[in-house]
Structures are given as C-alpha cells and as structure tokens.
Amino acid sequence: MLAGLSALPELTRGIREIDVSDSSTWTDVDRWFRRWAQHPALRAELRSYLRKLPADRAAAMIARSRETTTHFAWCLQDEPGDPFSLWLHEYKPWHDWRPGYADSVHNHRYHFCTTILYGSYVHERFAVELDAGGQRVNSATRTHSSTWHAGATGSLLSHEFHRIPVVSNGTMTFLVKSRPVTSWSLSFDPETRTSRRHVPVEARLGELIDRL
C-alpha cells in the first residue's frame, strides 16, 4: 500500500500502468489487485467515497448500475478512456434470489478480479463442453469448490465458467472488470441441461432495427 494514496485512486493508477490489451496480461492486473485488496480499511474507504459523492456523480453512478436476479451491481467508476470499470456487488438475501445468472454455471463477456468485503459465498469452477459453434454448453463438470470469506480474492477470465450457488446474507464484493472481450456470454443449468446465450441490450440495436 502506497502512503498518501486512498484506495480507489491507487487501484486506478496501478491498473492504468498495465497493458490490458489481451487476456495474457490480466494476470498482472490480478497480481496488483491482490496486493491492493489487502488494504486494512477498504470497506471504510469505500463507504467514505460513496458518502462524499456530489449529487451529480451519485446520480450518474446510479444510472450506470443495475439489478440482477441475485444482486445489485453498483458501478462505482467507468471512465471512457479506461480499459476497466470498478463495481460493488450487493447480494440480495437468500430468500429473495430468483433462478438466474449467478447461481447457474456461466461465464462472462469480460475478465474480472474480485474481493469479498463482507460475508461469504460458495464458489465453484467448471470445465464445460461447447457445441461446434461455441454458442451452446453441452455439458459441465465441476472441477473445484470452496467457500470464500471476507478478504478472499480471486479472478476469472471470460472463457472460464463458474457458479455461486450459496451466499450468506449481507455479502458484498468489490470487482474490477475489463471491457467486454466477447459479444455474448453463456449459462447452463445442470439439472435441466438448458443452455442459454446472453446478449446485452446495447448490442441488439441493429437486430431491433432489422426486425422493425
């Protein structure tokens, strides 16, 4: 931890110095993130950051954020010139979960690093078999399962599949996400063997126009 620098500016400065143009360099981001996440007062600094946000910046953050079936995804920082964005995930109470993305076997359109600020969850990794076009999951085999507690850190590349089947109430995580490296992601329900391809709404404008 560098003296005189608060948590978010230090993280931002460090990642900006790394070439994240391809997945091979994401290990450098992960290395920096793990060091940064050892900050002893990280939760307090994030709380202070949010409390001090001017009204216009708070409104912009809210507009960038979204609700999923399992958590609220708060976009803390998303500068157009940066090859990354910063997020806070606030998981919903277990009884409010609806079947969806986090608790399915899935990958992401982006690489990310994460640390648990509060609470815990079960994290599972999977090896998957895709169809010839790479747009459907035919099968998934769990390769690793562990329980992550506050302070745990990890990373995932866009082509890697995982699942978070159980989360303790109140769990919050902080994430650094790369820009999208693929145009869609996949999810798979092992019980029904249902595979789905997920395309973000902003990528569907051309299709919408063609269908009108």
Cα dihedral 200, 205, 208, 210 sign: negative
d(Cα 207, Cα 122) in Å, to the nearest integer?
Answer: 37
Please check whether residue 29 is in contact with residue 37, taking contact to mean a CB–CB distance below 8 angstroms: no
For residue 109, name the pLDDT band (cuts at 50, 70, 90): very high
pLDDT in tens, 87-107: 999 999 888 887 666 678 999
Give the angle subtended at the CA of 179 by the CAs of 176 and 181, to the nearest 5°: 120
If you average pLDDT over residues 35-59, what whole number do you get?
Answer: 92
Query: 60 is written with which tokens?
Result: 């912009």
Say whether pLDDT at 3 is over 50.
no
Residue 161 near residue 134, CB atoms below 8 Å: no
Alpha-carbon dihedral sign for residues 63, 174, 36, 184: negative
Asked if pLDDT for residue 2 goes beyond 80, the answer is no
**170-186: per-residue pLDDT in tens?**
999 999 999 999 999 99
Q: Residue range 45-60: average pLDDT?
A: 93
Global pTM reads: 0.89
Q: How confident is the model at residue 17 (pLDDT cuts 50, 70, 90)?
A: very high
If 0-12 CB within 10 Å is exposed, 13-18 middle and 19+ buried, where does residue 161 land? buried
- Name the CATH superfamily for 7-211: Jelly Rolls (2.60.120.10)
Question: What pLDDT, on the 0 to 100 scale, is given for residue 102?
Answer: 65
- Give the count of alpha carbons within 13 A of 205, CB side only: 2
Question: Confidence class of residue 44 from pLDDT cuts 50, 70 and 90?
Answer: very high
- Check whether 147 has a pLDDT greater than 80: yes
- pLDDT given for residue 150 in this prediction: 96
* pLDDT surpassing 90 at residue 212: no
pLDDT, mean over the chain? 90
Q: What is the pLDDT of residues 190-203, one digit of tens each?
A: 888 999 999 888 77
Q: What does the pLDDT read at residue 101?
A: 64
The residue extents of the domains of the chain are 7-211
